[in-house]
C-alpha cells in the first residue's frame, strides 16, 4: 500500500472532460489524462486490500464483478504512487495485451468491485490503467517482443476484434505462425468500426496493430471466410483455427411492428460502421454514410451503442435527438438487491447524454426526474409512421407500467391514454446482438448452442471439430471488450496445448 491513509485523505478524481459544445466540433477523444501528480494521489487511495475484489474477475448475478483479465491492480497502483511507471507497465502487460483499449472503453467492473467503493467512491482504476500504457508508448517502453523460437505450427484466427487479436498475440508469442483474417478493409473489428473515434481514436488501434505486425503476425483484410475462402479450405491449410468472429447479427424486436419497412430505420452498427469508415477514408467528404444532419433522430435502446449513436448524430448536426429505453430508470444509488461487489446497476450519465443536454433543452420532457437528459424511460415504440412515400416521418409510443405485469406474460402493462407521436426522420435500433453469423460454423460443422453461439465450454474453448476453437462474443454472446480479451488469451492457451501437448501460456 503506497499510503496507508490515502483513502481517508484523498478524494476520487477523474479527468475533466472537454467542454461538450467544443468537442462536438471534432471527432477527437473527449477525456484527457490527469496530470502525473494527480495520478500518484489517486494511486494512493488504493488500500491493497487483503482480498482485492477488483481483480477477481467472476460473474455475480450474470454480470462482471472485478477484472475479467485479472489485472494486478493493487500492484500497479502502488507502483504509480511510487513513480515506478515502467514497472507498473510490466505488471499491466502480464495480464492485459491491450490496456490502451480497456483503459478507454471498458466500463470498469473492477471499480464496481473496489472494496473502497462499499462506502466511498472507488479508486480511479480505469484512468490509471490508461495513463500507464499511454506513458509507456510516449516513453518508448512498449517495443516489439519477438518470439524466442518458431514451432513450425500454423494457426488461422478468424476475426480481428479484441478476442481475435488477443489470441493471435498470445499464439505468436508461443512461437506459432499466426494469420488473422478480417473481412473489412481495416483490422480491429469493433475496435475499428464499432466504437466511434471520440471514445477510441483509430491511430491508437493502428499503433497496436503495427506492433503486432512487427512481431510476426500476418493480417489479411478484405477476406471473408466462408465466402472468399471456404472454411474447409482454411481448416486444411492450418494446424488449428480460432473462431473470433464476434456477435454480429443484430436483434430486431420490431420485425412485426407496423412501419418497420420504412426508409430511415437502421440498425445502430450500420450507422456507426459507415460513419467511421467514411471519416477515416475521406473525413466524411465522400458522403458514404448515413447523415443525421438537420434530421429528427430517435435512438431506441440504451447502453454504450445507443450512447455512441447520440454522440455521432450530434456531431453530424441533427435537428433533434431523443433516446428511448423500454426499462425504468435505474436508481441513483445501489438498491438493496444489488449489493457490493456486484456491478452497480445505477443511473449513469455518459458523454453522449451530456452532449445532447448541452445542445437541446430536455427540461420539459415527460421524465421530470431526469431534468435535462435525452432519455425517455419505460416507453415502448408501437408504430413507425409513414410520410406517404415510404419514408419515416415519426414514431408512436406508449408509456409502460412495470409494477403491473400483463396477462400475456409481459413484465409490464401499457398505460392507456399515454400514446404519443414523435417526429423522426431517422431511427437507430441499438438493441444488442443475438449471435454470430452461421456460415463458418455450417461449413466446418461446428455445433451451436440454443442462442446460436458457437458451442465451446468456457475455459476449454474447444468446439466439436478437432483443432477448431472459439472465443469471445461468438462463443459467450454479446459481452464486454475485457471478456473478449480474457477469452482470446485463454483460447490461445488451449490451442497451444493442442498443438504442442503442453503450454506455458497463462
pLDDT at 306: 98
Same domain flag for 326 and 469: no
421: which residues sit within 8 A by CB, 6+ positions away? 385, 394, 395, 396, 397
pLDDT at 409: 87
Three-state DSSP state, 304: helix
Percent of the chain with pLDDT over 90: 93
Provide the total of helices (H) and of strands (E) in the chain, helices listed first. 18, 18
More confident residue, 219 or 62: 219
Find the mean pLDDT for residues 441-464.
96
Find the mean pLDDT for residues 4-22.
94
Nearest Cα residue to 378 out of 420, 427, 426? 420
177 pLDDT band, cuts 50/70/90, is very high
Residue 374 lies in a domain: yes
Residue 145 lies in a domain: no
Residue 28 lies in a domain: yes
Same domain flag for 244 and 256: no
pLDDT at 371: 75
Residue at a domain's end among 409, 429, 449: 429
Same domain flag for 184 and 289: no
What predicted TM-score, i.e. pTM, was given to this entire model? 0.96
Same domain flag for 99 and 177: no
Q: Supply the angle between the helices 125-138 and 85-95 in degrees, to the nearest 10.
A: 110
CA distance 144 to 169: 11
Q: How do beta strands 420-423 and 392-401 pair?
A: antiparallel
Same domain flag for 471 and 484: yes
Q: What CATH code is carried by the domain that includes residue 377?
A: 3.50.50.60
Q: How do beta strands 177-181 and 154-158 pair?
A: parallel
Residue 441 lies in a domain: yes
Nearest Cα residue to 48 out of 69, 12, 73, 66? 73
Lowest mean pLDDT across 117-126, 357-366, 428-437, 479-488? 357-366
Same domain flag for 452 and 473: yes
Q: Residue 234 is placed in which grid cell?
A: 482454411
CA distance 3 to 361: 45
List, in sequence order, the alpha helices (H) in 408-480: 439-444, 473-476
Number of Cβ within 10 Å of residue 35's Cβ equals 11
Same domain flag for 206 and 312: no
pLDDT at 368: 63
307 pLDDT band, cuts 50/70/90, is very high
Residue 269 lies in a domain: yes
Place of cell 493442442: 498
Residue at a domain's end among 397, 429, 461: 429
Find the mean pLDDT for residues 383-401.
98
Same domain flag for 48 and 190: no
Q: What is the pLDDT of residues 200-237, one digit of tens each?
A: 999 999 999 999 999 999 999 999 999 999 999 999 99
pLDDT at 62: 85
CA distance 152 to 335: 55
Find the mean pLDDT for residues 235-258.
97
Q: Residue 266 is placed in which grid cell?
A: 437502421
Domain extent, residue 327, equals 252-429
pLDDT at 476: 96
Residue 281 lies in a domain: yes
Same domain flag for 289 and 212: no
**DSSP class of 186:** S
Residue 17 lies in a domain: yes
469: which residues sit within 8 A by CB, 6+ positions away? 240, 241, 242, 243, 456, 461, 462, 463, 491, 494, 495, 498
- pLDDT surpassing 80 at residue 366: no
Distance of CA 132 to the CA centre of its chain: 20
Residue 199 contacts residue 29 (beta carbons within 8 Å): yes
365 pLDDT band, cuts 50/70/90, is confident
pLDDT at 358: 97
Same domain flag for 172 and 241: yes
Give the chain's mean pLDDT: 96
Same domain flag for 284 and 406: yes
pLDDT at 480: 95
**Phi-psi region for residue 125, left (φ > 0), alpha (ψ -120 to 50) or beta?**
alpha
Residue at a domain's end among 399, 429, 459: 429
Same domain flag for 300 and 403: yes
β-pair partners for 448: 454
Task: Give the number of domains in the chain.
Answer: 3
Percent of the chain with pLDDT over 70: 99
Find the mean pLDDT for residues 139-159.
97
Q: What is the pLDDT of residues 80-106, one digit of tens each?
A: 999 999 999 999 999 999 999 999 999
- pLDDT surpassing 70 at residue 369: no
Which H, E and C letters describe 244-303, residue by residue? CCCCCEECCCCCCCCCCCCECEEEHHHHHHHHHHHHHHHCCCCCCCCCCCCCEEEEECCH
Residue 147 lies in a domain: no
Q: What CATH code is carried by the domain that includes residue 100?
A: 1.10.1060.10
**At CB < 8 A and 24+ separation, what contacts does 116-121 make?**
116/7, 116/45, 116/46, 116/47, 117/340, 117/344, 118/340, 120/7, 120/12, 121/11, 121/12
Amino acid at each position: 500500500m503506497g499510503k496507508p491513509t490515502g483513502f481517508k485523505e484523498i478524494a476520487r478524481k477523474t479527468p475533466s472532460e472537454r467542454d461538450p459544445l467544443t468537442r462536438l466540433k471534432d471527432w477527437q477523444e473527449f477525456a484527457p489524462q490527469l496530470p502525473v501528480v494527480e495520478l500518484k494521489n489517486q494511486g494512493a487511495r488504493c488500500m491493497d486490500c487483503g482480498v482485492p475484489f477488483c481483480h477477481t474477475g467472476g460473474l455475480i448475478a450474470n454480470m462482471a464483478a472485478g477484472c475479467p483479465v485479472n489485472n494486478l491492480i493493487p500492484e500497479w497502483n502502488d507502483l504509480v504512487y511510487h513513480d515506478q511507471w515502467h514497472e507498473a507497465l510490466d505488471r499491466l502487460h502480464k495480464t492485459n495485451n491491450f490496456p490502451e483499449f480497456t483503459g478507454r472503453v471498458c466500463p470498469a467492473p473492477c471499480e464496481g468491485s473496489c472494496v473502497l467503493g462499499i462506502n466511498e467512491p472507488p479508486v480511479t482504476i480505469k484512468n490509471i490503467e490508461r495513463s500507464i500504457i499511454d506513458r509507456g508508448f510516449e516513453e518508448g517502453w512498449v517495443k516489439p517482443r519477438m518470439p524466442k523460437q518458431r514451432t513450425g505450427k500454423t494457426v488461422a484466427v478468424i476475426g480481428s476484434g479484441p478476442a481475435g487479436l488477443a489470441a493471435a498475440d498470445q499464439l505468436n508469442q508461443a512461437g506459432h505462425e499466426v494469420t488473422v483474417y478480417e473481412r473489412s478493409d481495416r483490422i480491429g473489428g469493433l475496435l475499428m468500426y464499432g466504437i466511434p473515434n471520440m471514445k477510441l481514436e483509430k491511430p491508437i488501434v493502428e499503433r497496436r496493430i503495427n506492433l503486432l505486425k512487427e512481431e510476426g503476425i500476418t493480417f489479411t483484410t478484405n477476406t471473408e471466410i466462408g465466402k472468399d475462402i471456404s472454411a474447409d479450405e482454411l481448416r486444411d491449410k492450418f494446424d488449428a483455427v480460432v473462431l473470433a468472429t464476434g456477435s454480429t447479427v443484430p436483434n430486431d424486436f420490431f420485425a412485426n411492428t407496423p412501419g418497420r419497412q420504412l426508409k430511415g430505420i437502421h440498425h445502430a452498427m450500420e450507422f456507426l460502421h459507415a460513419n467511421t469508415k467514411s471519416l477515416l477514408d475521406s473525413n466524411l467528404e465522400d458522403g458514404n454514410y448515413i447523415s443525421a444532419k438537420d434530421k429528427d433522430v430517435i435512438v431506441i435502446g440504451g447502453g454504450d451503442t445507443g450512447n455512441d449513436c447520440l454522440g455521432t448524430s450530434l456531431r453530424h448536426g441533427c435537428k433533434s435527438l431523443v433516446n428511448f429505453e423500454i426499462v425504468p430508470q435505474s436508481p441513483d444509488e445501489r438498491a438493496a438487491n444489488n449489493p457490493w461487489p456486484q456491478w452497480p446497476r445505477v443511473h449513469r450519465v455518459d458523454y453522449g447524454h451530456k452532449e445532447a443536454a448541452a445542445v437541446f433543452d430536455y427540461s420539459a420532457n415527460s421524465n421530470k426526474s431526469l431534468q435535462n437528459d435525452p432519455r425517455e424511460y419505460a416507453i415502448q415504440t408501437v408504430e413507425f409512421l409513414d410520410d406517404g412515400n415510404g419514408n419515416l416521418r415519426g414514431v408512436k409510443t406508449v408509456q409502460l407500467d412495470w409494477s403491473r405485469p400483463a396477462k400475456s406474460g409481459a413484465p409490464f402493462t401499457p398505460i392507456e391514454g399515454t400514446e404519443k407521436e414523435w417526429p423522426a426522420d431517422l431511427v437507430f435500433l441499438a438493441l444488442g446482438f443475438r449471435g454470430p453469423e452461421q456460415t463458418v460454423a455450417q461449413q466446418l460443422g461446428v455445433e451451436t448452442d440454443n442462442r446460436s453461439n458457437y458451442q465451446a465450454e468456457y475455459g476449454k474453448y474447444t468446439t466439436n471439430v478437432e483443432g477448431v476453437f472459439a472465443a469471445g462474443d461468438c462463443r459467450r454472446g454479446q459481452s464486454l471488450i475485457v471478456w473478449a480479451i480474457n477469452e482470446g488469451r485463454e483460447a490461445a492457451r488451449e490451442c497451444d496445448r493442442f498443438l504442442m501437448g503442453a503450454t506455458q501460456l497463462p
